[in-house]
Amino acid sequence: MIDFIAGVFGSSNYWYIVLRSTAPILLVTLGAVITEQAGITNMALEGSMLWAALVGVLASAATGNVWIGLAGGILASLVVAWTLGFFALKLNANAVLCGVALNLVGTGGTVFVLFSLTGDKGISSSLASKTLPFIKLPYLGEIPWLGKVVSGQNIVVYLAILAVIVVHVILNKLTIGRRIRATGANVEAARSAGIDPDRVKFLALTVSGVLAGLAGCFLSMGYTSNFTSGISAGRGYVANAAQVVAGGTAVGAIFASLIFGITDALATFLQNIGLPPELIQSLPYAVTIIGFIVVTISRDRREAARKRALFASAPAAAPREPVPPTRPGRGAA
C-alpha cells in the first residue's frame, strides 16, 4: 500500500493528471477570489461552467471552429455572471440565493437545450464538436520526468497558469485592483474616494465569468471531448470554498486548487488497488472542508496574535491609570 502510494507520487503520469484536474478548479477559484475581493460572492460559477461547457461544444460543432466554440462558451458564462450582477446589484437580490438559482437554471437548462437539439440528455457525442489543442512544449518537454508532466497538456492548462499571473497583476499591480480590494474591504471608504462600487463588482464578475467560461470549455473540449450532463460536478462550489483557503490571493489559489487536484487525481489511481472508489471520490470535497477549517483556525490565531502585539506595543493608548483631565470624551455631535 505504502509502496503503491510512493509509486503513484513518483509517477509522471500521476502529476500529469494532477495538473489536468487542477486547471479547471484553479480557473474558477481565481474567479471566486476576484469577486470575493470585490465584495460579492459569485455562487453562480457552477452555472457559468455548465453553460460554457455546453455552448462551447455546440458552437464548435456548428462552426467547425474550436476557437469560435471557446468564444461562445466564454460569452455564455459571461451572460450568467452578468445576470447575477443584474439581480444582485440592480434588484437588491441576495447574491448567494441568486447564484444558487442560476446554477439550477444551468443544471436544467443545459440538459434541456442539449436534448432539444440532439435528442440526447446525457452526452453530446452525436455532435462533431472540436477539442482544444494539446501543446507539446519545446525544450521543456525534453526533460525526463518533468517533461512528461508539464508538456503535452491542453492549452487551457497553460492558460490557467497565465490566468494566475493575470489575476495577480489585476489585484496587485493595476489601479483597478486597488479599487476592487477597497470595495470588498470597506465599501464606504471606496465610495467616499469617489469609486462606484457597483461598477467595480460588475467588472470583477466579468473577469470571473471569463475564467469560469474557460474552465467550462476545458471540461467539455479538453478534459473530455463531450458535454455530459452535470459535467462541472460541483467544481464551482468547490471554488467558493477554495477561495477562502486561497486567502484572497491569486498565488494562494494555486495551493487551494492543488489540494483538490492532488486528491482528485489520487482518486483515479487509488481505485486500482481496490479501495472503494466512492470513498476516494469523496476525498477532494472532504479535503476542501478540512482545508477551510485549518486556514480559518490559523488565520484566527494570527489575528489574535496581531491584536495582542498591537496592544502590547501601544501601552499609552490603553491607560490603566486615571486619565489626565485633558483627555477628551468621545462624543457624537
Partner 1 sequence: MDLILETKGLTKVYGNGTVANRRVDFGLRPGEILGLVGENGAGKSTLMKVLYGEEAPSAGRILLEGKEASFSSSQDAIAAGIGMVHQHFMLVPSLSLAENLVLGKEPKRKRSRFFDQDEAVRITEELSAKYNLKVHARARVVDVSVSMRQKLEILKVLYRGARIIILDEPTAVLTPQETEELFAELAELRRQGHTVVFISHKLDEVIALCDRVSVMRDGRLIATHEVAEVDSQTLSNEMVGREVRLKLDKTATSAGAAVLVARDLSYVDDFNITMVNHVSLTLRRGEVLGIVGVDGNGQTELVRILTGLERSLSGSLKVGGRELMGAGPGAIRRAGVAHVAEDRMTVGAALGASIQDNLLADRYSEGRFTGRFGFMKTEAMREEARSIVADFDVRCASASQSVASLSGGNMQKVVVGREFTADAEVLVVSQPTRGVDVGAIEFLHRRIIAMRDAGKAVLLVSSDLAEVMSLSDSLVVMSAGRIVAYFEDAAAVSDKELGLYMLGLKRQGEDEIRKVLHED
Partner 2 sequence: MKTDTARPRRGIGRTLAMFFTDRDRLEPALVTLLAAVFAVLSGIILIFIVSKSPVLSVKNFLLAPFLRSYNFYYLLIAMVPITFAGLALCIVYQARYLTLIVDSCVYMGAVVATVVGIYLPLPAGIHPAVAMLLSGLAGGLIGLLPAILRIKWRANELVSSLMLNYVFYFLGSCVIIYFLRDRKQSILASLPFLPTFALPKLVPNTQIHAGFIVAAVFVVLVSLLIYRTKWGFEIRLVGANPRFAQYAGLSVSAVVLYAHFISGFIGGVGGAVEMAGLYKAFIWQMDPSYAWDGVIVAMLARRNPKFVPVSAFFLAYLRVGADFMSRRGDVAFEFITMLQGLIILILASDRIVNYFKARRLKAAALRDERAARDAAGQIATQGAAEAGR
Which positions touch partner 1 (CB under 8 A)?
A: 173-179, 181-182, 185-186, 188-190, 192-195, 306, 310-311, 314, 316-320, 322-333
Residues 249-308 that bind partner 2 (CB under 8 A): 276, 278-279, 281-282, 285-286, 288-289, 292-293, 296-297
The least CB distance from residue 299 to partner 2, in Å, is 10
The least CB distance from residue 117 to partner 2, in Å, is 9
> Cβ(110)–Cβ(50) under 8 Å?
yes
The site partner of 276 among partner 2, partner 1, none (C-beta below 5 to 8 Å per kind) is partner 2
Per rule CB under 8 A, is residue 172 in the interface with partner 2? no
- Distance between CA atoms of residues 99 and 104, nearest Å: 9
- Distance between CA atoms of residues 256 and 329, nearest Å: 47
- The cell for 253 is 489559489
Nearer of residues 154 and 257 to partner 2, judged by Cβ: 257
Cα 126–chain centre separation: 30
The least CB distance from residue 287 to partner 1, in Å, is 27
- Grouping H, G, I as helix, E, B as strand and the rest as coil, residue 135 is strand
Site map (CB under 8 A) of partner 2, residues 68-87, x = contact = -------------------x
Count of residues of this chain found to bind partner 2 when the rule CB under 8 A is applied: 47
Closest C-alpha to 201, from 103, 79, 95: 95
Q: What separation in angstroms does the CA of 201 have from each of 39, 169, 173, 191, 254? A: 7, 17, 18, 13, 23
- Distance between CA atoms of residues 21 and 159, nearest Å: 14
- Please name the amino acid found at residue 67: W
Residue ranges that bind partner 2, judged by CB under 8 A: 41, 43, 87, 90-94, 96-98, 100-109, 111-112, 114-116, 119, 121, 234, 237-238, 240-241, 244, 276, 278-279, 281-282, 285-286, 288-289, 292-293, 296-297
